[in-house]
Structure 1
Amino acid sequence: MIVGIGTDLCDIRRIQEALQRRGERFAEKVLGPQELLVYRQRQARVAVRGLRYLATRFAAKEAFSKAIGLGIHWPMTWRSCEILNESSGRPRIVLNGELADWFAQKKWQAHVTVTDEVDHALAFVVIETQTDHP
């Protein structure tokens, strides 16, 4: 059963402006440890790829926070929620720390998709209860 839906549309130019104002600190605030590694690899190859990666992760975390009904309030923090890719490229949500415990206690499951196009990044998250039957 679906218990929450969240979406976020992010203007990539706003993310770029935040990076220009705050530098790497902005990425370090928003991205978890594994995401930060991917961001830096992509940014080193092609700067716009790093920027778009950061924007899609920002949007996905906003969408997730809306879907779980907390916003960016404890135990939901930017770094406790990571959007990583499976080897197939499919994005998945990986939770850490108290957020992971809180989420597991509810027996919820999260689904996420992200996309970007020129100036915008979009994310959509669905939260559902885990079922015990086949």
Structure 2
Amino acid sequence: MIYGIGTDVCDIRRIADTLQRRGPRFAEKVLGPHEIEVFRDRSARVEARGIAYLATRFSAKEAFSKAIGLGLRMPMTWRDCEIVKAASGKPEIRLHGALKAWFEARGLQAHVSVSDETDYATSFVVVETRPAALPP
């Protein structure tokens, strides 16, 4: 059963402007431990790829916060929600800390899709309740 749906569109130029104004502290505020490593690696190779990565993660976290119905208030925090890639390349949501505990206590699971073009990043998240285990 669907618990919530969230979507977000992010202007990559706005993320680039914010990053330029605030420096690496902005990325460190938004990205979790794994994400910050990927961001630094991509930025070192091609700055635009790092910025697009940051924008997709920003967008996905906004969409996730809408899908769970909390917005950006506790236990939802930027860094406790990470968007990571499975071995197949599929994006997945990895939660930490109080947000993970809150999410698991409700028996929820999330699905995320991210995309970006030159100027925009977009994300779509569906959160659903996990099906009850079937009796033996």
Instruction: Specify the code of the residue in structure 1 equivalent to 2:23.
Output: G
1:12-27 equivalences in 2 (<5 Å): 12-27=12-27
CA deviations on 1:61-95 (whole Å, 9 max, x unpaired) are 00000000000000000000000011211000000
Match of 2:128 in 1: 128
Gaps of 5+ in 2: none
Match of 1:32 in 2: 32
Q: CA deviation at 1:42?
A: 0.6
Q: CA deviation at 1:133?
A: 4.5
Comparing 124-133 and 106-115, the one that deviates more: 124-133
Could you state the TM-score of these two structures normalised by the residue count of structure 2? 0.97
Match of 2:61 in 1: 61
Match of 2:49 in 1: 49
Partner Cα separation in structure 2 for residue 89 and residue 41 of structure 1: 17
Give the superposed CA RMSD: 0.8
Secondary structure, in 3 states, of the residue corresponding to 2:77?
A: coil
1:88-127 equivalences in 2 (<5 Å): 88-127=88-127
Match of 1:82 in 2: 82
Instruction: Specify the code of the residue in structure 2 equivalent to 1:118.
Output: T
Instruction: Specify the code of the residue in structure 2 equivalent to 1:36.
Output: I
CA deviations on 1:5-42 (whole Å, 9 max, x unpaired) are 00000000000000010000000000001000000011
Could you state the TM-score of these two structures normalised by the residue count of structure 1? 0.98
Q: Percent identity?
A: 63
Instruction: Specify the code of the residue in structure 2 equivalent to 1:14.
Output: R
